[in-house]
């Protein structure tokens, strides 16, 4: 059982895997894959920091994956179909698989904000982006981004 003594020593991924038209606003998102560092395979755990002005994702929801966040530091705005909530350290939010509640986190503040992000690692999933011309499909662990028409992004 690996022990992570210093999570900041784990390399941070900056940015996003979204196709080019949707990449703006993600340079300030840093994810440290704690679950990978521990060898976890059934669910993912990321220590995620949003710098001022950064967003966690496009507003989305998953058909097959649960998502959970726990605030550690700073303040973030949760935008969802339920409305807007301000999240501060000690607060948590969850998004069950199949619940059509498009959500994302935004850092409107002047300081970085950090949260723990936990989610299912399903080999097959559909991600719905109701506010963008985007649809993601994961089959056998490979994600493909498509326009809502079904045409792939290059």
Assign residue 118 the CATH number of its domain: 2.60.120.10
- Residue 26 forms part of a structural domain: yes
- Residue 138 forms part of a structural domain: no
Q: Note the pTM of the prediction, 2 decimals.
A: 0.94
- Residue 1 forms part of a structural domain: no
pLDDT given at position 125 = 95
Per-residue tens of pLDDT for the chain, all 154 residues: 689 999 999 999 999 999 999 998 899 999 999 999 999 999 999 999 999 999 999 999 999 999 999 999 999 999 999 999 999 999 999 999 999 999 999 999 999 999 999 999 998 999 999 999 999 999 988 999 999 999 998 7
Number of structural domains the chain divides into: 1
- Residue 102 forms part of a structural domain: yes
- Residue 93 forms part of a structural domain: yes
Residue 94: which domain range? 7-122
- Residue 135 forms part of a structural domain: no
pLDDT given at position 62 = 97
What number of CA atoms fall less than 13 Å from residue 76's CA on the CB side? 31
């Amino acid at each position: 059982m690996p022990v992570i003594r210093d999570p900041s020593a784990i390399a941070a991924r900056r940015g996003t895997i979204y196709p080019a038209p949707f990449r703006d606003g993600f340079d300030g998102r840093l994810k440290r894959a704690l679950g990978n560092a521990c060898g976890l395979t059934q669910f993912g755990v990321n220590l995620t920091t949003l710098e001022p002005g950064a967003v966690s994702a496009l507003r989305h929801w998953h058909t097959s994956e649960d998502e959970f966040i726990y605030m550690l530091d700073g303040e973030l705005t949760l935008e969802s179909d339920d409305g807007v909530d301000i999240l501060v350290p000690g607060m948590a939010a969850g998004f069950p698989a199949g619940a059509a509640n498009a959500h994302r986190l935004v850092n409107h503040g002047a300081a970085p904000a950090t949260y723990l992000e936990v989610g299912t690692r399903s080999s097959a999933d559909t991600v719905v982006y109701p506010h963008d011309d985007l649809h993601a499909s994961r089959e056998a662990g490979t994600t493909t981004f498509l326009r809502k028409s079904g045409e792939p992004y290059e």
